[in-house]
């Protein structure tokens, strides 16, 4: 199984986009997305220095645009490639790249959202002097406990022995003086405490914009930063993109889901390297490919061919099916129906948002919801069956039957 991943802020380097301009179509796409983002993405990706592209309002649109441009160069005909990709995920702002890549939102919607996300997060960061520090090594539970002692947030739990602490500069200074046992601290050159309560004003702006976004259900499994869950509802993808601005990134759980899915190959879009590095340490046995320059495209396509799952069209998650699917958000056991509620059997009429069951794991219990409503056609699992992330559980006709 192949998973595509998109990096977050901090992965960009001066001039990284320059070689991609030689690929047919890339310059034209960047010109269009520059108009949407109200930024000269070509300039910032080819000529601007490190200080310029460190600016949150510039870095975030640049990252999303570069990832989408490279993905379209790798997969010129996305509709044919959806069946080859098993899952997709993005780290922090990379979630917007992934959301557009799987068809949950358009590239233009992604560029509008990332433009406003970057501006709003930069404005929120200017209110209080905040920053972030990488905590490397140590026992994860002890590290999180130590951060709590200093009122810091574990903003990124990246797995592979890496947790990023975020908060005020005074709180981070106190952590430097009292570090977790067995851990090394490395200050990060960032503009603020991202993915914490300090970003709440940015969430309000994103919520306002999200109301106008047309979302579609992802064509392949979309793995969410919030909890590593597979999300199949386009509406929920957008809502999670909004709330994630002020909530921790659980990349460790995303990689755990990849392991449960049986991923054999992980390909990272530009500016690549960060997430493949984490995967090499946290996902032993999984092959990785960091796509950095266009001269790697042929090798990347060979990597895709090696790890892709060729599935019949009927087994994919279509955007306009004759039925809808309810899928498992994570691995666990399935419970058909809701205790005390009406039986969810074939022929039952469901209103949009109706509860149809639950998936239980050691970590949590998640209620299953029929996002679109309709007529129940069939359960694809039995009560108590073990299920995998993204596994189809229930098939629903999107329109109620008419007598």
At 117, phi and psi to the nearest 5? Answer: -60, -50
Helix axes 107-125, 94-101, angle to 10 degrees: 170
Among residues 91, 150, 195, 372, the one annotated as catalytic is: 195
Q: Tell me, what's the pLDDT at 309?
A: 77
Enumerate domains of the chain plus CATH numbers: 2-121+197-307 (3.40.366.10), 125-187 (3.30.70.250), 321-397 (2.40.50.100)
CA-wise closest residue to 231 among 47, 87, 40: 87
Which structure tokens are listed for 268? 């990272």
- Per DSSP, 331 falls in state S
d(CA 260, CA 87): 12
d(CA 333, CA 359): 6
Quote the distance between the C-alpha of residue 138 and its chain's center.
26
Consecutive H or E run containing 377: strand 374-379
d(CA 17, CA 41): 9
Q: Which three-class secondary structure state does DSSP give residue 88?
A: strand
Consecutive H or E run containing 337: none
Residue with tokens 């629903």: 396
| Sequence-distant (≥ 6) Cβ neighbours of residue 42 within 8 angstroms | 17, 21, 27, 30, 31, 34
Q: Is 343 a catalytic residue?
A: no
Classify the C-alpha dihedral 110-115-120-122 as positive or negative. Answer: positive
Q: Is 195 a catalytic residue?
A: yes
- In degrees to the nearest 10, what's the CA dihedral of 120, 122, 128, 131? 130
At 244, phi and psi to the nearest 5? Answer: -65, -20
With vertex at residue 233, the alpha carbon angle to CA 307 and CA 64, rounded to the nearest 5 degrees, is: 60
Buried b (16+ CB within 10 A) or exposed e, 166-194: bbbeebbeebeeeebeebebeeeebbbbb
Q: Tell me, what's the pLDDT at 321?
A: 54
Which structure tokens are listed for 9? 């802020």
- Bond from prior residue into 336 cis (ω within 30 degrees of 0): no
Estimate the share of the chain in helix, then strand, then coil, as percent rounded to the nearest 5.
Answer: 40, 20, 40
Question: How crowded is the C-beta side of 124, counted as CA atoms within 13 Å?
Answer: 26
Which structure tokens are listed for 353? 């948002």
pTM of the full structure: 0.88
Q: What is the 3-state secondary structure (H, E, C) of 133-196?
A: EEEEECCHHHHHHHHHHCCCEEEEEEECCEEEEEEEHHHHHHHHHCCCCCEEEEECCCCCCCCC
Which structure tokens are listed for 328? 């498992």
Beta-bridge partner residues of 88: 4, 222
Among residues 34, 66, 91, 92, the one annotated as catalytic is: 92
Q: What is the 3-state secondary structure (H, E, C) of 216-255?
A: CCCCCEEECCCCCCEECCHHHHHHHHHHHHHCCECHHHHH
d(CA 132, CA 312): 45
- For the chain, what is the radius of gyration of the CA atoms? 21
Which structure tokens are listed for 296? 């790697």
CA-wise closest residue to 320 among 238, 402, 217: 217
Q: Tell me, what's the pLDDT at 315?
A: 45
Strand arrangement, sheet containing 230-231: 230-231, 221-223, 87-90, 2-6, 265-268, 287-290
At 162, phi and psi to the nearest 5? Answer: -130, 120
- Please give the chain's pLDDT, 403 residues, in tens: 999 999 999 899 999 999 999 999 999 999 999 999 999 999 999 999 999 999 999 999 999 999 999 999 999 877 767 778 999 999 999 999 999 999 999 999 999 999 999 999 999 999 999 999 999 999 999 999 999 999 999 999 999 899 999 999 999 999 999 999 999 999 987 888 999 999 999 999 999 999 999 999 998 999 999 999 999 999 999 999 999 999 999 999 999 999 999 999 999 999 999 999 999 999 999 999 999 999 999 999 999 999 997 654 434 455 445 678 899 999 999 999 877 766 788 888 888 889 999 999 888 899 999 888 889 999 999 999 999 898 999 999 876 443 3
């Amino acid at each position: 199984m192949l998973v595509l991943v998109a990096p977050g802020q901090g992965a960009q380097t001066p001039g990284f986009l320059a070689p991609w301009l030689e690929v047919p179509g890339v310059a034209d796409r960047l010109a269009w997305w520059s108009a949407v983002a109200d930024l000269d993405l070509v300039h910032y990706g080819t000529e601007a220095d490190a200080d310029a592209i460190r600016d949150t309002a510039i870095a975030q649109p640049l990252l999303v645009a570069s990832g989408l441009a490279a993905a379209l160069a790798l997969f010129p005909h996305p509709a044919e490639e959806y069946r080859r990709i098993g899952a997709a995920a993005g780290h922090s702002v990379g979630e917007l790249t992934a959301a557009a890549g799987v068809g949950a939102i358009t590239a233009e919607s992604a560029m509008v959202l990332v433009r406003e996300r970057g501006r709003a997060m930069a404005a929120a960061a200017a209110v209080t002097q905040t920053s972030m520090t990488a905590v490397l090594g140590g026992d994860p539970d002890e590290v999180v406990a130590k951060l709590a002692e200093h009122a810091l947030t574990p903003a990124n739990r990246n797995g592979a022995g890496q947790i990023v602490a975020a908060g005020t500069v005074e709180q981070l200074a106190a952590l430097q003086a009292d570090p977790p046992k067995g851990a090394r601290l490395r200050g990060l050159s960032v503009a603020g405490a991202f993915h914490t309560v300090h970003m709440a004003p940015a969430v309000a702006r994103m919520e306002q914009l999200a109301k106008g976004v047309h979302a579609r259900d992802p064509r392949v499994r979309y793995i969410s930063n919030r909890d590593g869950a597979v999300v199949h509802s386009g509406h929920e993808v957008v809502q999670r993109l909004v709330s994630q601005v002020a909530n921790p990134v659980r990349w460790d759980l995303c990689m755990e889901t990849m392991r449960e899915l049986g991923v054999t190959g992980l390909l990272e879009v530009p500016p690549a390297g960060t997430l493949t590095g984490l995967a090499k340490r946290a996902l032993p046995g999984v092959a990785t490919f960091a796509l950095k320059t266009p001269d790697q495209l042929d090798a990347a396509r060979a990597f895709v061919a090696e790890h892709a799952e060729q599935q019949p069209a009927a087994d994919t998650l279509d955007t306009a099916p004759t039925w809808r699917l309810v899928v498992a958000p994570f691995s666990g056991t399935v419970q058909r129906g809701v205790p005390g509620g009406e039986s969810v059997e074939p022929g039952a009429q469901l209103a949009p948002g109706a509860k149809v069951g639950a998936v239980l794991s050691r970590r949590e219990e998640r209620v299953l919801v029929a996002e679109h409503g309709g007529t129940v056609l069939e359960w694809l699992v039995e009560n108590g069956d073990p299920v995998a992330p993204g596994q189809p559980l229930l098939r629903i006709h999107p329109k109620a039957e008419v007598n």
